[in-house]
Amino acid sequence: MEREEKSNTGYLKELTKGFIRENPIFVLCLGLCPTLAVSNLVENAFGMGIAFFFVLLCSNITISLVQKLIPDEVRIPCFIVIIASFVTVASLLMQWFIPDVYARMSLYINLIVVNCIILGRAEAFASKNNVFRSMLDAIGMGIGFTAGLFIISAIREVTGFGTFLGFRLIPENIKPITIMILAPGAFFTIGFLMALFNLIRIKKGKVSK
Amino acid sequence: MKAKITFKGGIHPPENKDLCGELSIKDFPPPGIAVLPLQQSLGSPSEPVVKKGDKVKKGTLIARSKGYISANLHSSISGEVIDIKKAPHPLLGEANAVIIKSDNRDEPEKDYSTEDVSAAGLSSGEILGLIQNAGIVGLGGATFPAHVKLNPPPDKPVKTLIINGAECEPYLASDHSLMLNNAEQILKGAVMIKKILNAEKCLIAIEENKKDAVSLFRQKLNSLKDIAGLEVLPLNVKYPQGAEKQLIYTLTGKEVPSGGLPMDISVLVHNIGTVFAIYEAVFLKKPLFERVITVSGKGIKNPANWRVRIGTPFKTLINHSGVTDRTIKKLIMGGPMMGLAQYTDEVPVVKATSGILLLTSEEAAAFEHLPCIRCGKCVTACPMGLMPAEISKMVEKGRIDMAKSIGLMDCMECGSCNYICPSGTNLLQYIKLGKYEYMRSKNAKR
Amino acid sequence: MLKDKHLTVTVSPHIKTALTTEKMMWIVSCALVPAAGAGIYFFGFHAALVITVCVVSSLLTEFLCTLLMKKPATIKDGSAFLTGLLLALCLPPELPLWMCALGGFFSIAVTKFAFGGLGYNIFNPALAGRAFLMGAFAKEMTTWKTLQVFPDGITAATPLNLLKEQGYDSLMKVFDSHSHLFRELFIGRVGGSIGETSAGLLIIGGLILLFARIITWHIPVSYIFTVMVISYFTGGVFGIPFHLFSGGLVLGAFFMATDPVTSPITPKGQIIFGIGCGILTMLIRIRGGYPEGVCYAILLMNSVTPLIERYSKTKIFGVKR
Amino acid sequence: MTLGQIIALFMGSVFVQNFIFSRFLGLCPYVGVSKDTPSAMGMGFAVVFVMTTASAVTWILYRYILIPFDLTYLKIVAFILVIASFVQFVEMFLKKTFPALHRSLGIYLPLITTNCAVLGVAFLNITQFESESYGFAKSTLQGFFAGIGFMLAMLIMSGIREKLEYAEIPESMKGLAIVFVTAGLISIAFLGFSGFKL
């Protein structure tokens, strides 16, 4: 019964759930450290998003492929090793292609290895589902994460620098609110975005009632 | 012994004690109908020994104490028992009461006016018996049966007896007037109690705003003989100076342990009114059927101190005193700080009634309730060293366990926090609720 | 006779003190008026505009927040007015007005209403607003109106700035003698925020609050005493009056740190709070990146207020320690 | 290594560049375990202990194994494995020898494996102190002080959150939203330490 329902409701849901309903940042509240640390510039956020996407996709696929081979007791260490290998690959690639972006945030790229989303998806999803589903899940979550990162970084860059991806949006003579690109700005942005998500959920809840 | 200057905390509400003017005690005429609730004290209600249609006289026993903590009840007028039924009660809302219709003869059971000089030679047991028969309870408001309080367990001897004449509640002046009018009798009663308890000393504590009472007592002590160990001590004027634990701390410097009784530190406190009632019971063989109360408040035309029969309905007193044409807001039994607001003036005077106040809307101002701004005034005001704002917030959120851990059950409900709170938060209401909830869950666990 | 009257039944007590929260807020505001007046007198018309904009933006934000949250309107309780006034008093006199408005908005909306409104905020709204503006517009927030000029024509910032960045000698170049410096500091004719410079008038305002029993002595005394001790050990006899009267110390000690909502509720906790404020203020003044530390010191102590309260409970009567 | 350097390290890791309020490391356990003070305290102690020892262990690993054998590109895999197994080992050790301590800290230990503050301080150590003298001592101290800073942040937040339980927070701000706004305000206050010099 459950299986049937699963196949019917389909793959699309697997893909889209990460966008809003189970958005990793605003709803699941996972992987917050890099989210806040690198979101002062949209450029950084994209760099982080791509690296994250890459690691999540590869590790999800790999783990769903080898799930049968891994003994249950040592699965977590195995996942970590798999993830860590892909993080190493990603960090080497970034170092090669976009060295200046990498230099700004190498610490946080390395720390993708302990990002709760990736380990969480590996444990909760990829180790229990087939390759295709795991891939869709990874894409959905990756898009959700990158989009969240994009929103936060866009808000912070526009208010804190007056620019977007380096282009000036707000005229020079209006002073940007510098604090938005400092640590407090990151906390405020995510705090109020979460409140916004809550508000939407409350409104929706009221309507469905 | 070095007396502390005062206790920690407390407040200075406007006293309004001068409303009554001169401090004489007027005799209030016996009412046409007396309503005598069977529950007049802490503990179990007494059991009626009369039935409908019985003729009674002033001072006739109409209900006998039942159980250890309970007290006798006597008729306060002469006449006929017309019913035993539920009637409004100032403390309980409604309770069983013996209702007596006056025959207007006011005939006493026996003569209560001649002093029995031989009483001074009675044994402790005999005196306790007289007190028990007279149905005397603590008249300060706690209504604990006096004969039980005067009979402490042998392992907790009482060394210091304190006679409480602080009367720190605003408006009330009944104890003050009693002290001025019956100083000698009170002293005799105090000597008697000291003898029963075999106490080393007896301290009579009076707030400094009653200077006349202090000097009168000092003068009497000098003129009377055989009263070694008695001492009059003036106290700072501060509310709640008359609260048992604060009074003991002020006079002896000792703290009654949390959850304990004064006898745990060898002290016993009796109210002035109770001491006078004990005098009457022992020397005049007169049961407790009348007491002195203050009828006051800006809603009353002629405020005064009355010696009034137990069972007199409030409305009889209020009508007799006259009502001003200002907006009446509250009718209160007791003082404005700890008294109980009444929903009707049908309730009768009981043994616990120390005053009846009719407050106008300007006196009993209730202002807008704002959120707590944590100013800490309640913390400094609390004589028990509690944090009322925190406790009430915890109770509000249903965290009775946490409130208990920071002293919920130590609160004695003096209302200082509530008085001083600038936000108008009803702190005491939540604390009382919390205490009630705690006792309920504790009893349920049993 | 009482039949036709409605008797109100409530829990005791039945009388209450006349000092309400509303009155307290307005009395504090009034106690600030002399210092604010001195600020306008010394710094000119723009200072008056800054005060007006801050107050109006605070009141407006308060009104909108209560409207959005469907709470009863709380504008007249005076707390928003006071927040706006306090915020303006710790801003530089020539700050662009839209920044003032933003500060007022932040104070009320983020530090106060996000936490539920009056009584629930963790941080002092006015100081949080100032610290926010400091982080947002560091340059504008440290541009002071010049009241003293160097002999060689270079404009002088606040005395604390001078001491920190150019040392004691250039400070003495501007003010030729100690007594001159202390006199100017006391009456407030030095560079600085609008309402913080006039130490004398602020002390009068603080005494009014003490006598009106709106604040207790614990925080101001422990705060100022700590600052005096540390400044004696770091700056000698000169240090005590200098650190006492310069910067926002008096304003902070009497009006900001004593904000009841964000300071500990117990007397013992208040003393710890005051000492902590004093230590942090001097730490930032002497070693920190900013010349003035009152604002941050109080905010930092605000954040540990719950912890202080946790470990400074009152002694319950009859309970042995 | 002078006292001044130690104090500078202390001020730097605890206040100026607090791991939570400035570097954003270890946020998940920070928001997860800061609901009440006792558990914040337990988690804090566990983090101080693990960060200190992990800093020492990873520094030795990096300096004496990875560099000599030219395996530095494997540092991510190596560090995470070492930390994970180290935490596991500590847990077993505590269980055997100090059961009381284990009962109070035990539940927090597994959470620390995925605490990016621990791995973060290891990476920071090797980039900051790789070629410096006293590298080992500095790494260990930085780990210890960063742990203290983390614990301080935990305690502050737990105190505030306990107090917020009695506040009337708007429905939409409830939960993590208000926690982040509070963290933002605390980090504004922590800006006061910026530019700190000895």
Name the nearest CA neighbour of C122 among C312, C308, C313: C308
Instruction: Using alpha carbons, list the distances in angstroms from residue C14 to B167, B169, B238, B363, C10.
Output: 17, 12, 17, 8, 8
pTM: 0.91
Subunit contact B394:D168, Cβ cutoff 8 A? no
Q: Answer whether the bond into residue C260 is a cis peptide, omega within 30°.
A: no
pLDDT at A82 over 50: yes
pLDDT for the residue B2: 45
SS3 string of chain A? CHHHHHHHHHHHHHHHCCCCCCCCCCCCCCCHHHHHHCCCCHHHHHHHHHHHHHHHHHHHHHHHHHCCCCCHHHHHHHHHHHHHHHHHHHHHHHHHHCHHHHHHHHHHHHHHHHCHHHHHHHHHHHCCCCHHHHHHHHHHHHHHHHHHHHHHHHHHHHHHCCEECCEECCCCCCCCCHHHHCHHHHHHHHHHHHHHHHHHHHHHHHHHC
Which among B391, B393, B400, B423 is the top mutation candidate for probing chain D, defined by the most D β-carbons within 10 Å of its own β-carbon? B393
The Cα–Cα gap between C81 and C126 comes to: 11
pLDDT for the residue B303: 93
pLDDT at A81 over 80: yes
Subunit contact A175:C135, Cβ cutoff 8 A? no
CB of B92 within 8 Å of any CB in chain C? no
Q: What pLDDT digit, counting tens, does each position of C210-248 carry?
A: 999 999 999 999 999 999 999 999 888 888 999 999 888
Subunit contact B328:C19, Cβ cutoff 8 A? no
pLDDT at D187 over 80: yes
CA angle B426, B431, B436 (to 5 degrees): 130
Q: How many CB atoms lie within 10 A of CB A35?
A: 29
C-alpha dihedral, C60 to C66 to C72 to C76, nearest 10°: -30
Q: Which residues from A are below 8 Å from C136, CB to CB?
A: 177-180
Pairwise pLDDT comparison (A72 vs B138), residue with the higher score: B138
**Average confidence (pLDDT) over C34-42:** 92
- Tokens 């390759």 correspond to A131
Which among C94, C99, C132 is the top mutation candidate for probing chain A, defined by the most A β-carbons within 10 Å of its own β-carbon? C132
Q: Which of A156-170, C248-262, D82-96, D167-181 has the highest mean pLDDT?
A: C248-262
Q: Which residues from C are below 8 Å from D168, CB to CB?
A: 116-117, 120
Q: Which residues from C are below 8 Å from A180, CB to CB?
A: 136
pLDDT for the residue A1: 34
Q: Which residues from D are below 8 Å from A194, CB to CB?
A: 175-177, 180
pLDDT for the residue A24: 78
The Cα–Cα gap between D43 and D29 comes to: 8
pLDDT at D5 over 60: yes
pLDDT for the residue D188: 94
C-alpha dihedral, C127 to C129 to C130 to C136, nearest 10°: 150
Contact pairs from chain C to chain D, CB under 8 Å: 94
The Cα–Cα gap between C177 and C182 comes to: 9
Pairwise pLDDT comparison (B121 vs C24), residue with the higher score: C24
Which among D20, D27, D121 is the top mutation candidate for probing chain A, defined by the most A β-carbons within 10 Å of its own β-carbon? D27
pLDDT for the residue C267: 93
Instruction: Using alpha carbons, list the distances in angstroms from residue A132 to A5, A24, A61, A141, C101.
Output: 17, 20, 8, 14, 54
Q: What pLDDT digit, counting tens, does each position of D112-159 carry?
A: 766 788 888 998 888 888 777 788 898 999 999 999 999 999 999 999
Question: Residue D198: pLDDT band by 50, 70, 90 thresholds?
Answer: low
Chains interfacing with A (3 or more CB pairs < 8 Å): C, D
Distance from CA of D29 to the nearest CA of A (A): 10
Q: What pLDDT digit, counting tens, does each position of A105-128 carry?
A: 888 888 888 877 888 888 778 888
Subunit contact B396:D168, Cβ cutoff 8 A? no
pLDDT for the residue C152: 54
The Cα–Cα gap between A108 and A87 comes to: 11
Distance from CA of C120 to the nearest CA of D (A): 5
Please, what's the b/e burial string for B422-444 (b: 16 or more CB within 10 A of its CB; e: otherwise)? bbbbbbbbbbbbbbebbeeeeee
Chains interfacing with C (3 or more CB pairs < 8 Å): A, B, D
The Cα–Cα gap between B354 and B376 comes to: 32
Pairwise pLDDT comparison (C299 vs A19), residue with the higher score: C299
Distance from CA of D189 to the nearest CA of C (A): 5
- Decide if B7 contacts B250 (C-beta within 8 A): yes
Subunit contact C303:D186, Cβ cutoff 8 A? yes
| Residue numbers of A between 73 and 132 with CB closer than 8 Å to D | 77, 80-81, 84-85, 87-88, 91-92, 107, 110-111, 113-116, 119
Subunit contact D169:C115, Cβ cutoff 8 A? yes
β partners of residue B267: B160
Subunit contact D165:B371, Cβ cutoff 8 A? no
pLDDT for the residue A21: 75
CB of C138 within 8 Å of any CB in chain D? no
pLDDT at C154 over 60: no
pLDDT for the residue C205: 94
- Tell me, yes or no, whether chains A and B touch by having 3 or more C-beta pairs under 8 A: no
Subunit contact C318:B341, Cβ cutoff 8 A? no
Q: What pLDDT digit, counting tens, does each position of B390-399 carry?
A: 999 999 999 9
Per-residue pLDDT of chain B (446 residues; tens, 9 = 90+): 345 568 888 999 998 888 887 788 999 999 999 999 998 878 888 999 999 999 999 999 999 988 888 899 999 999 999 999 999 999 888 899 999 999 998 889 888 888 888 887 888 888 999 999 999 998 887 788 998 888 888 888 999 999 999 999 999 999 999 999 999 999 989 988 988 888 889 999 999 889 999 999 999 888 876 667 888 999 989 989 999 999 999 998 889 999 899 999 999 999 999 999 999 999 999 999 999 999 999 999 999 999 999 999 999 999 999 998 888 889 999 999 999 999 888 999 999 999 999 999 888 877 677 889 999 999 999 999 999 999 999 999 999 999 999 999 999 999 999 999 998 888 999 999 999 999 999 888 77
pLDDT for the residue A5: 45
- Tokens 């459950």 correspond to A2
Query: Any residues with CB less than 8 A from the CB of C9 and at least 6 apart, and which?
Result: B330, B341, B342, B343
Distance from CA of D117 to the nearest CA of C (A): 22
